[in-house]
Copies of this chain bind each other. A is one copy, B any other.
Amino acid sequence: MCKLILASSSERRKDILKMVKLNFDVIPSNIDENYEKKLSPKQIVKKLSQKKAMAVSNKYPNSYVIGADTIVNVKNKILNKPKNKIEAFKMLKFLSNTEHLVLTGVCLINKKDNVIFNFVEITKVYFYKLDEELILRYINTKSPYDKSGSYGIQDYSAGFVKKIEGCYYNVVGFPISKFLNVLRTFPKIESISI
């Protein structure tokens, strides 16, 4: 049996895997997350999730390593994590009163067995119109700074979201139900504790 490793330091991803009672270790990849500007949103998350998984897989070739990368795509723009208050404000104004896509790339690698499995999950998210005072109040909670698109659907900004189409946990940062279906096709992984 092989161990499962999450190549991410994201508390939200850890919480999602724990929620469904998976057994796993956490080993962050610490890769450089820059990417070529010409890539499509799907290509970006596929490439970065694979890069994360591969970096950790090189050190733990016998384990199954999970890499994941999430971005927000709105009107042909990619929104990453905001660097400051102005960037966060601009992103949230941009998302206000319209819909956007949240894309997460997931990559599962086992180097020893030569396994590389990728998928990209996409969820459509519709925002209410946000007034500027509300945006500023939210930014003052400091919550936007570690989040692609400057919001977290699982915090105060849950109130910004009119509706979603697709997987909710994908918006939080990890498309768990699709992933579990993939995992069941790898019986060698020792992971389900329930």
Chain A interface (Cβ within 8 Å of chain B)? 16, 19-21, 123, 128, 137-138, 141, 153-156, 158-169, 176-178, 180-181, 194
Contacts and interface: CB of A to CB of B under 8 A. Distances in A.
A20 B156 contact: yes
A155 B15 CA distance: 11
A160 B19 CA distance: 13
25 contacts: A19-B155, A19-B158, A20-B158, A20-B159, A21-B156, A123-B163, A128-B177, A141-B194, A153-B168, A156-B194, A158-B169, A158-B176, A159-B177, A159-B180, A159-B181, A160-B177, A161-B168, A162-B167, A162-B177, A163-B166, A163-B167, A164-B164, A164-B168, A165-B165, A168-B168
Contacts of A180: 159
A193 to B, nearest CB: 10
A7 B123 CA distance: 33
Most buried by B among A21, A128, A177: A177
Kindly list the 3 A-B residue pairs having the minimum CB-CB distance in the complex, ordered from nearest.
A159-B180, A168-B168, A159-B177
Contacts of A153: 168
A167 to B, nearest CB: 6
A156 B17 CA distance: 9
A163 B167 CA distance: 5
Most buried by B among A155, A158, A161, A194: A158
